[in-house]
Amino acid sequence: MPIPDFQSAMLPVLRLTQDGKDHTLGEAVEAVAVEFKATEVERNELLPSGRQRRIHNRVGWAKTYLQKAGLVEANGRGRFRITPRGQQVLQGKPTRIDMKFLEQFPEYTAFAALKHDAPDAPPSAPELPVSDETPEEVLEESYQELRRRLAEELLERIKACDPRFFEKLVVDLLVAMGYGGSRKDAGQAVGQSGDEGIDGIIKEDRLGLDVVYLQAKRWNSTVGRPTVQAFAGSLEGQRARKGVLITTSDFSREARDYVKHIEKKIVLIDGTELARLMIDSGVGVTEVATYTVKRLDLDYFGDEE
């Protein structure tokens, strides 16, 4: 039996989690391989990029769609488990779960409304509808969707790590963005003050002409104005002009409005922005494949565009 398309893998993945325990993607891949009696050759078949096994890719997308529909949920460190909704679905003894089946859930409907269904799935999945978009549009949307999924995975991992690792991550990110001078200098600065709500101090440039005060909040709840206002007060106590407040969650509207109307320059970086900066700066991520898109060189042929 050939490797199942990603939709056919959805039900086996959900069945794996019916014990209520946390499971890894590797366990899900093994469960699907066993159910579909995949041979050793099929298990090791690679995508055209040669960087990932095809079955691993498809099971990963199956799990993503189940999560978008609220049937499974992430539990940190790359693990996931079934939700009460997922248990209820299994009690109905479905013979198949696919995108059509998932349309009954509002979370999935909202996700599908973004019109990323075709890019989401592996190109070889036969059930996917034909896209009306041009290849360039499909490629761009696929790239953006991959970034969104990677950002979600980054935040899951960060929230599951201890506070010390988060402090190190913040330093690595700022250094990668050009702040803090050397990694050694930045590492010595952050986490040493612990004074008046300041988690660290880092050079704004290599010469150290100015400094930026930091506060890092590895939170799940929204950061409100009182927390931001307290950080601004800490800057005042240090006679500092600039500060960066980084959180793994989000900031309330009142908090964002507050920093717009004060003299000091405070930059708020929420979880979404944090993940984006990490991806752009190459922190905590690794390159899988690079695709170069080319077009006809009209100048070479002497044509006018």
- The residue extents of the domains of the chain are 9-115, 162-281
* 3-state SS class at 60: helix
Q: Tell me, what's the pLDDT at 22?
A: 95
The CA-to-CA distance between both ends of the chain, in Å, stands at: 50
Q: What integer pLDDT is reported at residue 121 of this predicted model?
A: 45
pLDDT in tens, the chain (305 residues): 678 899 999 999 999 999 999 999 999 999 999 999 999 999 999 887 677 888 998 999 899 999 999 999 998 777 999 999 999 999 999 999 999 999 999 999 998 887 444 444 444 333 344 344 666 777 778 888 899 999 999 999 998 888 888 888 888 898 888 887 666 776 555 555 444 567 778 888 777 778 888 888 889 899 999 999 999 998 888 888 899 999 999 999 999 999 999 999 999 999 999 999 999 999 999 988 887 878 777 677 765 54
In angstroms, rounded to a whole number, what is the distance separating the alpha carbons of residues 164 and 194? 13
Q: Nearest 5 degrees, angle CA 175-CA 178-CA 179?
A: 65
- What pLDDT score does 305 carry? 45
pLDDT at position 47 is 80
Query: Is 27:42 a contact under the CB 8 Å cutoff?
Result: no
Residue 303 confidence (pLDDT):
54
Q: What is the pTM of this model?
A: 0.68
Instruction: Answer yes or no: CATH 3.40.50.300 is held by domain 162-281.
Output: no
As a whole number of angstroms, the distance between CA 74 and CA 273 comes to 20
Residue that has been written with the tokens 């690079």 in this structure? 290
pLDDT at 123: 41
For residue 157, the Cα-to-chain-centroid distance in whole angstroms is: 9
For residue 124, the model assigns a pLDDT of 38
Distance CA 59, CA 72 (A): 14
| Topology, domain 9-115 | Arc Repressor Mutant, subunit A (1.10.10)
Residue 245: the pLDDT is 94
As a whole number of angstroms, the distance between CA 77 and CA 25 comes to 11
Is the Cα torsion angle 200, 205, 206, 210 positive or negative in sign?
negative
